Structure 1
Amino acid sequence: MMSTLQHKSIYLPVLLTLWLGLFLDSEALSERIQYGQWLTNGLVLLCFAWVYFRVTRKIKKLMLYGVGLAYLGEVVFSIVLGMYEYRLENVPFYVPFGHSLVYAAVFYIQKEKLIQRNKSHLVFVLYWGMIAYSSLWLLFDQDVLGLVCTLVIVLLLKKKTGNELFFLIMYFMVVYLELLGTYYQCWEWPDTWFSIVSFISSSNPPSGIGVFYFGFDIGCLWIYKKLNSKKWRRMKSLRQFKRL
């Protein structure tokens, strides 16, 4: 099966880097190694370079736009609004690069022929898996914020843009990332939304927080369209022609 996966050299290193990088930046390891976050910075940069030189020109641009957009988002949501907090009360250098790596990994996972052949079945399974996952967090940990975020995702998916599989894979990639990050105590989510809205309780992490990655993905595409308008119009015309 592995031999049929054409893009595994892109997303498997990302999955491994997320785990190892967050372990190196963990609260437990910091008691033994003070420079763990620097090791994570170096590891993520190496992975970013590895992936960057293996993707298409369009994805290269989206990855670079993503770094800038992610840094801005992290400053606003973490530092200014206090929606969550990193271990050292900063925005770690590796985090914006990690956002772009997650984007690239999900893009190439959903491009696999094996995935595309089973697209409709996977959308069905992942969709109801998302509903079940969020419902269980609500039931066992009163994760109201996670449920609200998941319901927003459900509404977005009703538009049927053809990107449902991408966003559902993104949802579970974020689940993987958030469970690792909070388990290793690299960051923490408060018990209530922004520690202010008391009637919206939250798990650590909230189950549906991937909705903010959806915004990140849409933001990257918006920047790409604005800075590459001619290419975008040409690509759109080709897609319309193929549908005829």
Structure 2
Amino acid sequence: MLQLIKLEMKKFNLGWYVKGALIATIILTALLCFGVSIALKENDLPMLAYQDVYVLIGANVRAIFIVFASVLIAKIVIEEYKNKTILVLFSYPVSRKKLIASKLMLITLLTFITMMLSNTIVAGLFSIINAYFPIVPFEITGNQFIGEITNIVLFAIASAGMSLIPLYFGMRNYSVPATIGSSLIVVAIACSYNPPFSLVTFIPFQLGLAAVGGAIAYFTIRNIENEDAI
């Protein structure tokens, strides 16, 4: 399986994804610093504690990389079916299930890792910038940041799972627009931030969506041997 994942990475040359993730992280940091500063001055964004900052950062990071994951799904899975290049893969003496599983595992791992790194970088940069140029009316310490690592990991796992939900819509008609469009719906539902109660912080709901994504991946892999790729 690991060898298949490596082959997929070479085949699709994922440098564009790494560059996109880096650019998105930098832009998000700048927008958050600027946006939060303006919103607080206008009293449009109630922030009472450092946890509110991390919730806002986490919501935006997860939203971005769920959409990124849908692009990966479209490129690595849906376009293979649409262009019928998947038939070449299925002609190899390798189980179809392993081939599709390797693709989905690659997407999930990339989403989880980049989401973790981006969330950590944005939160770290925001904390450093806030220390020198106060943005929020309270201090964000290193110990508070370390204390949030568990939440970052937990929500990244949940988001990596739910990022597979667009696979269902994309596979119905092998549609790239449906794949990416459905990810925006997932983001609108799962990453809504509306204090004092937000679905983005309700972990049972987040894990429920992750379970849905996992189920979609499971049934896609399970039924692949009996499906016509044309």
Between Structure 1 and Structure 2, which shows a larger proportion of strand residues? 1
Greater RCO, CA 8 A, separation 6+? 2
Compute the TM-score of the two structures, normalised by the length of structure 2: 0.37
Compute the TM-score of the two structures, normalised by the length of structure 1: 0.36
